[in-house]
Amino acid sequence: MAFMLGRQRNPFETEDEELSKIISNERLYEHFKQLGVDLGCKEPRHPDTIFRAHLEERKVRDADIDSAKKNLAMTYANAFVNAGFGKDHLMLTENEKESWVYKNKEGGMTAAAASLGMLLLWDTDQGLVDIDKYQEATDDYIKAGAFMAIGIVFSGIKNECDPVCAILMEQLEKAQK
C-alpha cells in the first residue's frame, strides 16, 4: 500500500519511518536497482547494441546520418536503455573532459547533460555528486542540461530539504546579481 501511495504522490503521513520513506519515494532507487538484479539486468548496454550498428554496412550508415544527429540519437538511446541503473558506457566516465557531453555541440550538450538525470534516476545521493561537476561548467548549454538532470533525478521524490529548489533558487539569485 505504501508503494501505491508513493506512486500516486499521496501526502499520507505515518509514524513509521520506513513507511514514510517508501511513501515519499526516498527508497525508490534501492527497490529499482533490486528489480534490475532480479531481472538479470546488471550490466549497462551500449547504444550500438540497440541500433544493431554491427549488422549494418558502415559506409551506408555514415553517409546518411550526420554526426550531430547520430550523437543525439546515441545520447537518448543510452539514457533510456540504462535509465535508473547508474551505469553506462557513454556518460559516466572518470575523465570529465572525455565525457560524452563534450563530444556534442550546443543543444546536444544540453541533451547529454540532461540524460545524466535518466541514468541516475531517483538516486538522490550519487545523482547530485555526478551532476555537480556540470553545474559549474562555463558553457551555458551544459549548465542548462545539468539543472534539467537534477530535476529528473528528483522527479516524484518528496524530500523535506528539497535540494532541487535550493539549488535552482541559488542559481536564480546568482543570475540576478
For 55-84, how does the pLDDT look when each residue is reduced to its tens digit (9 = 90+)?
555 555 555 567 888 889 889 999 998 888
Mean pLDDT over the full length of the chain: 81
Asked whether the beta carbons of 12 and 24 are under 8 A apart, the reply is: no
Provide mean pLDDT across the span 116-123.
91
Residues 6+ apart with CB under 8 A from 150: 117, 127, 128, 131, 135, 163, 164, 167, 168
- Greatest mean pLDDT among 11-20, 22-31, 42-51: 42-51
Is the confidence at residue 110, as pLDDT, over 90?
Answer: yes
Nearest-angstrom CA–CA distance, 101 and 114: 10
pLDDT > 70 in the chain, percent: 87
Which residue, 25, 35, 42, 1, is CA-closest to 123? 25
Task: Specify the pLDDT at position 67.
Answer: 82
Provide mean pLDDT across the span 34-54.
78
Task: Specify the pLDDT at position 65.
Answer: 64
Going by pLDDT thresholds of 50, 70 and 90, the confidence category of residue 141 is very high
Provide mean pLDDT across the span 138-151.
93
Going by pLDDT thresholds of 50, 70 and 90, the confidence category of residue 127 is confident
Nearest-angstrom CA–CA distance, 75 and 47: 8
Nearest-angstrom CA–CA distance, 131 and 61: 33
Task: Specify the pLDDT at position 79.
Answer: 92
Whole-model pTM over 0.85 = no
CA distances (Å), origin 101, targets 22, 62, 140, 163: 33, 21, 12, 24
